[in-house]
Amino acid sequence: MNYLSINDINSLHDWVQEAITIKKDPLKDHTLGKDKSIGLLFFNSSLRTRLSTQKAALNLGLNPIVMNFSNEGWALEFEDGTIMDQGKSEHVKEAAQVISQYCDIIAIRAFALLEDKEKDQAEEVLLNFKKYASVPIVNMESSVGHPLQALADAITLAEYNQKKSPKVVLSWAPHPKALPHAVANSFVQMMQLQDAEFVITHPEGYELDPEITKNSKIEYNQEEAFKNADFIYVKNWSSFSDYGQVISKDKNWMIDQPKMNLTNNAKFMHCLPVRRNVIVADEVLDGENSLVIEQANNRTYAAQLVLKKILENE
Ligand code: CP
């Protein structure tokens, strides 16, 4: 079993309920991973993913081994048949097989580079590790998706939702740098599995991949989208059609209290890290309706559920 995308969840409802059960007694399965190791490979920075996945592994008795490829590993080559006479020292073919000798599970973080749409969409790093490794692979945020984050978000929604079909709004907000689409993509895919009124709002030109959004409603007027919302999930992403470009930094899209006042006393969600007073005003982030710390807390139980399922399956 691998956990590469939201598509690997066979029943979101059952997974969320199981994660909530784990949260009540996180050490119940503390011997399940005894004498086994998980390799956490980071090609990019992380706070939450790195620590919550280590914590989840430790809760299962699984030994985490962490490697930062950005400054510790050999520079990896991913293309087949390359003459490796330039900067890359090791091919993923050997690296993935070698790491499989030391680790029973491999988890990988490798963001989109936002330079070559085709390469990013092909999930070059994640899927080459899957191709050449002989152990299960977990996605800790790839070019296209962040399914551990979306699973944690689903747990948080379940914990705070009080309606059969809540209104959930995914809103773009401005950011000075070009950011990938992974968090938004997985959130959309996860919401498509929920009984909810789901609306995506962003300036024109920021449409996500239509193969991800499918029939999800898009409302270009943010204030209209916020009306009667029960949850506001905020994230920046760069343009998908004008790939990787920042085509707007419109400050009017920042989330502030007057905007939250348009909602049905909505809860505020963000995956973190977040830029204060750029994406969201202090008053909202620090307000009583902010769920960001609980979302981060639930990253442990999302990861623990995934690792538990993999260990039980092996
Ligand atoms: N939300 C999230 O994935 O946080 P990190 O980038 O700090 O891991």
Report pLDDT digits (tens) over 154-203: 999 999 999 999 999 999 999 999 999 999 999 999 999 999 999 999 99
For residue 35, give the amino acid letter.
D
Q: 107 CA to middle of ligand 1, Å?
A: 14
> What CATH architecture applies to the domain 149-295?
3-Layer(aba) Sandwich (3.40)
> What CATH architecture applies to the domain 6-145+298-313?
3-Layer(aba) Sandwich (3.40)
Instruction: Judge whether 276 is annotated as a binding position.
Output: no
pLDDT of residue 22: 98
pLDDT of residue 272: 98
Residue 140 near residue 170 (C-beta atoms within 8 A): no
On average, the pLDDT of the chain sits at 97
Question: 3-class DSSP state for residue 82?
Answer: coil
Report pLDDT digits (tens) over 172-183: 999 999 999 999
Instruction: Judge whether 30 is annotated as a binding position.
Output: no
The reply to whether ligand 1 has any atom less than 6 angstroms from the CB of 274 is no
Q: Is the pLDDT of residue 59 over 90?
A: yes
Share of the chain above pLDDT 90, in %: 98
* Sequence ranges of the chain with CATH classification 3.40.50.1370: 6-145+298-313, 149-295
Q: Is the pLDDT of residue 261 over 90?
A: yes
Q: How far apart are CA 294 and CA 288, in angstroms?
A: 12
Q: 81 CA to middle of ligand 1, Å?
A: 34
Q: The tokens 């009080």 sit on which residue?
A: 162
pLDDT of residue 276: 98
pLDDT of residue 73: 87
- pTM of the full structure: 0.98
Q: Helices (DSSP H) in the chain: which residue ranges?
A: 12-24, 48-59, 92-102, 117-121, 124-132, 147-160, 182-191, 210-213, 222-226, 257-260, 282-285, 292-313
Q: What average pLDDT score do residues 232-259 get?
A: 97
The reply to whether ligand 1 has any atom less than 6 angstroms from the CB of 49 is yes
Give the position, in ligand 1's atom list, of the atom nearest the Cα of 47. 7
Instruction: At 164, list the tokens.
Output: 């059969």
The reply to whether ligand 1 has any atom less than 6 angstroms from the CB of 51 is no
Give the position, in ligand 1's atom list, of the atom nearest the Cα of 45. 6
Report pLDDT digits (tens) over 71-129: 888 999 999 999 999 999 999 999 999 999 999 999 999 999 999 999 999 999 999 99
Q: Using only the alpha carbons of the chain, give its radius of gyration.
A: 20
Residue 99: name the closest of 123, 128, 57, 58 by CA: 128
Q: What average pLDDT score do residues 205-223 get?
A: 98
The reply to whether ligand 1 has any atom less than 6 angstroms from the CB of 149 is yes
Instruction: Judge whether 300 is annotated as a binding position.
Output: no
Q: 273 CA to middle of ligand 1, Å?
A: 6
The reply to whether ligand 1 has any atom less than 6 angstroms from the CB of 48 is yes
pLDDT of residue 70: 85
314 pLDDT band, cuts 50/70/90, is confident
Cα of 149 vs its chain's centroid, Å: 4
